[in-house]
Chains A and B, each alone.
Chain A
Amino acid sequence: MYKLRATIWKDIIILVRDRVGLIFMFAMPIILAIVITATQNSTFELVNNNKINLLLCNRDTGTAATEFAKGIKDAGMFKISEADKKIDVASLKLLMDKHDALVTIEIPADFSDKLKIHANATAEKALKDFGVEPDTLTTATDSLPPVNMLYNPVLQSSFRQSIQGALQSVLQMVQTKQILQSLYAGLNNSPMPDSLQQELGAARSVIREIPVSKTGKAVIPNATQHNIPAWTIFAMFFVVISLGSSLVREKNSGSFLRLKTLPTNYSMALISKQFTYLCVTLLQAAVIFLLGIYLFPHIGLPALSIPSNIAGLFLITISCGICAVSFAVCIGIFAQTQEQANGMGAVSVVLLAALGGLLVPAFAMPQSFKYLIRLSPLHWGLEAYYSLFLEGGTLKHIVLNLLPLWAITILLQLIAFAGLKKKNLV
């Protein structure tokens, strides 16, 4: 036992005196967690709380176009600047720059007329189906008039889609109203009263967001709840840089030659290193979680809400830590040089993180990647954390996610042992 204690003590001293290694293991993941949470949080706020600069050019003077423009203003998502209706497209683009607008909506001059014709045609078809013969028959145009959305190329696809969604919703309301007016006029030979128009416009269902948790307790997801577990796992696996290169350094140094001449099996050194670095991973998790709880609220980010199941949290963290050091040992045993260990370690962790859903959610991955995702230990660690942090999962839910992680850990240990055996080190 003294041998093991002495070996662990030696590893701790070497680790503590390696300032650069410590920066890699602690400062870098902390910075990553803060920066990415802040970025995602501001993205969330941009879409949900902040207003997007929008330039509106309404070339039409008709009622539908006016209602559409009003609908965009009422949507509450945009800060609107209006452009002169006679301005050409080239000038419109220049004006976008001037107003710092990411999007311009151009309503064509015949928008209201064409929409009305289309609505009348639709209403007449419907009345015919009901057996009511309308007084006049309208020749419908082929399609609805297009509304142009000019956008700055820096606007990402997800943003464009949410802007489009909002605009489509307003447009749909205007069109529906127009069709209803035509139907009313066709049936009653008189325009729809204002009171009814208002009543129809107001009759909208509200969508309530209800997060579904496994225990029934409501957990409000936010950027912190999503990012802290993800970047904690990433940090843990990033010990590959320090542990992997420490193993290679020892293998390639004279001290290793001496160790081989002493009456102690090299597996003692491996057990010691794994224990030392497991403590490092637990410390990393503790530091990042504490930052999430205490620092984040002071820098304008949502505070981390620690789940009540502390035993589950510890089980996930220690399982991820053991898997991370097993992975690092594998890299360290098979790498020939420190450069190889650093390169292979860093690249493979980033790849496993990408596959594991740390960079892009796993559900958003292409179908062909679905099987590859399961090979990433980071994926199972993240799923286990999410089941606890976001879904309020019980021990059973956690264990179900941890089983594949444990299987990967055992596999990594076996591979490492085979590597040691092949190299005559144990």
Chain B
Amino acid sequence: MKDAISISNLRFSYPGLPEPVFENLNLVIKKGSRFGIFGPNGAGKTTLIGCITGLIKYQSGSILLNGLEVVKNLQHIKKQFGYVPQDFSLYPELTPMENLMFFASWAGLNKSLSKKRALEVLEILGLSGVKNKQVKKFSGGMKRRVNLAIGVIHQPEILFLDEPTVGVDIHSRQAIISYLKKLNSEGTTLVYTSHQLSEAEELCDDVALFDEGKIRVHDSLPNLLKQHRHDGLEGLFLELTGKKFRDS
């Protein structure tokens, strides 16, 4: 299996902070995997996704995405991944169809392809019936599904998901997870981060547990649970990160 993402000796620090967030961080995410990044608040999960997607400029080291250095090939790389942020990254004044048509154009799709893909994705995510209603009138679960639809409209090879199911009803959650599995079965690499560890067990096959900018453990989920003698991720998480609050 080839590497979807390869991180070597990554160093990143926020201006004004004495300690770097990452120092000599190394990580490989295989193509076609369902990779989960977990850790307490402030562990560096979102910063890492920011560095990989080019949203944050790192100081040294290298990040290769599909074999291309992120910093040098940003515009090209942007076509290869999709991003589903934790916040609703859409225009609430627009309908799902209008949102998808707009974001598809920015992803480089032409009008006819945008329309075809938008209708497909809306159908899969159960939004066809409301495709012409303003998103601001939707429930949280429906908004999450639109949020996901926008991230996958251009059929990215790698999909970054930051808490994609937070605050949604069980039906929406199930629809989202099923769709993500379907995408993965078609070859899309999923890079997933969440605090919902039971959901992660259902979705992820590879897991990295972060704390204080370092990778505590990284292996396949069954291996990790076996090595640490836990039934689920929650026990493993608490064993490796402790029980103190991390509110920074």
Contacts and interface: CB of A to CB of B under 8 A. Distances in A.
Interface residues of B, number: 32
A137 interface: no
A6 B101 contact: yes
B199 to A, nearest CB: 21
A424 B54 CA distance: 12
A13 B93 contact: yes
A13 B88 CA distance: 19
A7 B102 contact: yes
A10 B85 CA distance: 21
Interface in B49-102: 53-55, 57, 75-76, 78-79, 81, 83, 85, 87-91, 93-94, 98, 101-102
B29 interface: no
A381 B78 CA distance: 43
B55 A257 contact: yes
Interface string B92-131: 0110001001110111101100100000000000000000
Interface stretch (A208-216, A258-266, A404-412): A258-266
Given A2-B105, A3-B105, A254-B89, A261 B53 contact: yes
Given A13-B94, A13-B98, A258 B103 contact: yes
A291 to B, nearest CB: 29
Contact of B83 (A253, A261, A424): A261
B78 A2 contact: no
Contacts of A268: 106
Contacts of B79: 263
A110 interface: no
B161 to A, nearest CB: 13
Nearest to B105: A6
A257 B85 CA distance: 8
Interface residues of A, number: 23
B41 interface: no
B150 A263 contact: no
A262 B90 contact: no
Contacts of A254: 85, 87-90
A257 B89 contact: yes
B103 A262 contact: yes
A9 B104 CA distance: 13
Nearest to A263: B78
* Most central of A6, A9, A253, A268 by chain B CB within 10 Å: A6
15 contacts: A9-B102, A17-B93, A254-B87, A254-B88, A255-B89, A255-B91, A257-B55, A258-B85, A258-B89, A261-B55, A261-B78, A263-B78, A263-B106, A263-B107, A263-B108
Minimum-distance CB pairs A-B, first 6: A254-B87, A6-B105, A254-B89, A258-B89, A263-B78, A262-B106
Given A257-B55, A261-B78, A263-B108, 18 more contacts: A2-B105, A3-B108, A6-B101, A10-B98, A17-B134, A18-B93, A253-B89, A254-B89, A254-B90, A255-B90, A257-B83, A258-B85, A261-B83, A262-B106, A262-B107, A263-B78, A263-B106, A264-B106
